[in-house]
Copies of this chain bind each other. A is one copy, B any other.
Amino acid sequence: MDHQAKGTKKGRAALKADEAKVDLIAVVVAVNDSEPCLLTIGNADTLPSGPYALEHRSLQSGLRGWVEQQTGHPLGYIEQLYTFADRDRIGAERQERAISISYLALTRKEQATGSANCGWRSWYEYFPWEDHRSGTPVVLDILRPRLIEWAEGASDATTRRERRQRAAIAFGFDDRNWNEELTLQRYELLYESALIEEAGGGGDIAPAAVSGKAMIADHRRILATGIARLRSKIKYRPVVFELMRPSFTLLQLQRTVEALAGRLINKPNFRRLVEQQELVEETGETSLETGGRPAKLYRFRHAVLDDRAVAGTKLPLARA
């Protein structure tokens, strides 16, 4: 392998050996009836994906192409998540590398042109321990002792202490607060402790209703990355509106945020923040569909996308 004669990009065109397959893979999210949903293909449990090909004008357009072809669903908002070399997919027989570039996409369910081989599933089917909207989920009562057991199973005391602490922080044990952004860390802990299916069998896997549905290959890990990113992002960038209909009530908006965050928000405070940041404006109409006093309808002030564009727009969910 010639490692010299490089440093400028041009010099490298000569090398031919080091090529890799590049996959594009999408976490497509929508929220329906206060339930955060994930777009899957085939017999579910698989994210839309496909190879980055010659005819693609860019990474993003390649991703859009694959998702639209596999699900019939056009994508709006897209953001890159992470790129990783997939060790599982390195063919032992054939020397080749595989790279996956993952993206997060936000849409609305109705936009689907109803293509065949795909469907929407609540992401909490894959992560039952992530939904704290009705208080701490019961599955945590089962996972906690298992995690403790795993921590205590380490050979040396240092590792034991470290494992205990990691679990306590990620899952909010010992009177710590639940931090909804730690979705990926939680997944990794459950993977390490072999409490979920992907971990490869050896361990003492918890029942499916507790450990959640598994996904193909590393897709559940990618989903965890997407959830974590989205939960973090809604706090400082007005991306929720990508998931809303053109007009909506403030409570619908709140329910959507709560669905994503997996926790409840104080109503008056939520309204105050939304209004004082001028994220929305009244349409003038009202909705009677709520059962009580009619709710005003609002629309997103698209001006803020230019305005505050990259500045400090933030939704609540600050500290617990």
B-side contacts of A51, CB under 8 Å: 6, 12, 15, 18
In the complex where A21-B12, A42-B8 touch, is A310 in contact with B185 (Cβ < 8 A)?
Answer: yes
Stretch from A91-99, A131-139, A146-154, A291-299 forming part of the interface with B: A91-99
Within 8 A of B (CB), among A255-280: none
Q: How many monomers of this chain does the complex have?
A: 2
Stretch from A80-88, A122-130, A192-200, A202-210 forming part of the interface with B: A80-88
By beta carbon, the residue of chain B nearest A3 is B69
B-side contacts of A162, CB under 8 Å: 306
B-side contacts of A89, CB under 8 Å: 9
Within 8 A of B (CB), among A73-114: 80, 82-85, 87, 89, 91, 94-95, 97, 99, 101
Q: Is A72 an interface residue (CB 8 A)?
A: no
B8, A85: Cβ atoms under 8 Å?
no
Q: Is A52 an interface residue (CB 8 A)?
A: yes
B-side contacts of A233, CB under 8 Å: none
Q: Is A311 an interface residue (CB 8 A)?
A: yes
Stretch from A30-38, A53-61, A238-246, A281-289 forming part of the interface with B: A53-61
Q: Which of A1, A12, A58, A165 counts the most B-chain CB atoms under 10 A from its CB?
A: A12
In the complex where A8-B46, A306-B162 touch, is A52 in contact with B85 (Cβ < 8 A)?
Answer: yes
Q: State which of B3, B46, B83 has its C-beta within 8 Å of the C-beta of A59.
A: B83
In the complex where A97-B22, A181-B310, A312-B319 touch, is A7 in contact with B70 (Cβ < 8 A)?
Answer: yes
Report the Cα distance A33→B51, complex, angstroms.
47
How many A residues, CB 8 Å from partner? 62
B-side contacts of A95, CB under 8 Å: 54
How far in angstroms is the closest Cβ of chain B from A187?
Answer: 13
B-side contacts of A156, CB under 8 Å: none
Report the Cα distance A1→B50, complex, angstroms.
12
Q: State which of B1, B9, B55 has its C-beta within 8 Å of the C-beta of A217.
A: B9
Within 8 A of B (CB), among A170-223: 179, 181-182, 185, 216-217
Q: Is A166 an interface residue (CB 8 A)?
A: yes
In the complex where A59-B84, A85-B59 touch, is A18 in contact with B22 (Cβ < 8 A)?
Answer: yes
B85, A42: Cβ atoms under 8 Å?
no
Q: A6-B50, A9-B89, A83-B101 are known contacts; what are 16 more A-B pairs with Cβ within 8 Å?
A: A3-B50, A7-B42, A7-B48, A7-B49, A8-B216, A12-B23, A13-B91, A18-B51, A19-B22, A54-B97, A58-B85, A80-B83, A169-B306, A169-B309, A169-B311, A182-B310
Identify 26 residue pairs between A and B in the complex whose beta-carbon atoms are under 8 Å apart, listed by A's number: A1-B53, A3-B50, A6-B50, A7-B42, A7-B46, A7-B117, A8-B42, A9-B217, A12-B21, A12-B51, A13-B91, A17-B53, A17-B54, A18-B53, A19-B19, A20-B22, A20-B99, A22-B22, A52-B85, A52-B99, A58-B87, A162-B306, A166-B309, A169-B306, A181-B310, A312-B319
Q: Give the top 3 A-B pairs by smallest Cβ distance, nearest first.
A: A19-B19, A83-B83, A18-B51
